[in-house]
Amino acid sequence: MSRWMVNVRGQQFSTGSLEELKQLAKKGEVGAGDIVQPPGAADWLYAMEVPELKKVLRSDVDLDLPAESQGMSTTTKTVVAVAMGLVSIGMWVYALQLRSTVPDQSEINLIGEKGMKFSEVLVTNSVPLRSSASVSAPEVGPMEKNGKCDLLAKRDRWYKLRCDGKEGYAQVDNVVPAYFFADNKVKEDYDPLYNPDRYVTIANSAWRQPLDSKVSNFSFMIQNGSKFPMTDLRLKASVKDKNGGEVQSIEIPVEGTIPPQEGVMVGTLKPAKNDKEGKPRVMSNNTYTEILKEDPKAVDRWIDGVDVDLTADDLEASVEIVEVRAIPPEGGAK
């Protein structure tokens, strides 16, 4: 069944068909200013922009549209502006503090044809590369001072790096991004490579728990406010008690790429019935759409959002992004 995503004044849900959506519009439960996403689409539209809905929308439901009715494009521009406005100058202060540990330009090749790529970092402290983002994690290998590493992702105050063919994590204050050596314009352009977590957010989230069920569903959109595609997302789903204490959590990898300055919904593709060892795959809806082209029967295994098992009553849950990678331009780290 092809499902439509619907966002009514911040509350998001899905419908099983266009006919079901039309019935909601007739009842006034969906208004002209609410946004909808057709099955398999990446863009959102105002309900009034869908011809089948426009015919049945009620005139007595408030029309709450921005000045320019352009689907999600206006929202996306707003998100981009806010994201850019929140880019902290702290990174620059931090970088200036590291000048004493950075070698002179005569000692290394910096920016240039034979120098560092903007998707690389310069090692300023000889520290171990670790298997996970923790000071107690096992060592993967050494990072030599003045060496160069490819940037693979960011996780809180840690970078995931590839150094001399080995992949692992190092705290951000042990390296300097290549753009530290460039002008302010380049720093602004390439900031999402080094701080992707500042540009990717969870939006339009909704939490639903069916009656008599310990499995709850969290549906949401991943919004990318940068000019770089984002990938390798890892989410943390946390379940908390009524006092806010965490009772369980799980880390979830998300397949797929979020295009620049766009938003995509996240869902789950369950394994086929004959795949006894298969596991659910959490992915962006544009990745699911590509799978659907090759396997139309996958529609029967798709659910919107992510299911989370709850172990007790009166629990609340949330989902946050804990790791993400910005895809550098051609010639950068892969």
Token output for 45:
């539209």
Q: How far apart are the first and last CA of the chain?
A: 37
What integer pLDDT is reported at residue 79 of this predicted model? 40
| Lowest-confidence region among 42-46, 192-196, 211-215 | 211-215
- As a whole number of angstroms, the distance between CA 193 and CA 133 comes to 18
Look at residue 91 and give its three-state secondary structure. Answer: helix
Split at pLDDT 50, 70, 90, the class of 158 is: very high
Domain map (residue ranges) of the chain: 4-71, 88-194, 200-326
How confident is the model over 287-332, as pLDDT tens digits?
Answer: 999 999 999 999 999 998 888 765 555 567 677 899 999 998 875 4
Token output for 126:
């000889």
Query: Which residue type sits at 115?
Result: G
- As a whole number of angstroms, the distance between CA 165 and CA 8 comes to 49
- Tell me the CATH class for 88-194: mainly beta
What integer pLDDT is reported at residue 9 of this predicted model? 67
Q: Find tokens 């983002």 and name the residue.
A: 133
Token output for 267:
């869902």
How confident is the model over 216-268, as pLDDT tens digits?
Answer: 778 888 999 999 999 999 988 877 777 777 777 888 899 999 999 999 999 99
DSSP-assigned letters across all residues of 265-304 = EEEEEPPPTT-TT---EEEEHHHHHHHHHH-GGGGGGEEE
CB burial of residue 6 (10 Å; 0-12, 13-18, 19+): buried
Higher pLDDT, 158 or 43: 158
How confident is the model over 111-121, as pLDDT tens digits?
Answer: 445 567 778 88
- Label the pairing between strands 215-224 and 263-269: antiparallel
- As a whole number of angstroms, the distance between CA 119 and CA 200 comes to 18
Task: Give Cβ neighbours of residue 136 (< 8 Å, ≥ 6 apart).
Answer: none
E strands present in the chain: 4-8, 11-15, 35-37, 45-46, 120-123, 127-130, 139-143, 148-155, 158-163, 166-171, 175-177, 200-208, 215-224, 230-240, 246-254, 263-269, 281-284, 302-304, 306-309, 316-326
What integer pLDDT is reported at residue 114 of this predicted model? 53
Split at pLDDT 50, 70, 90, the class of 91 is: very low
The answer, yes or no, to whether residue 76 has pLDDT greater than 50, is no
Domain 200-326 coded CATH 2.60.40: yes
Split at pLDDT 50, 70, 90, the class of 159 is: very high
Which of these, 280, 303, 310, 311, lies nearest to 215 by C-alpha position?
310
Higher pLDDT, 62 or 232: 232
Please say whether the beta carbons of 15 and 24 come within 8 A: yes
What integer pLDDT is reported at residue 102 of this predicted model? 42
Mean residue pLDDT of the chain comes to 77
What integer pLDDT is reported at residue 245 of this predicted model? 78
The answer, yes or no, to whether residue 21 has pLDDT greater than 50, is yes
**How many residues are there in the chain?**
334
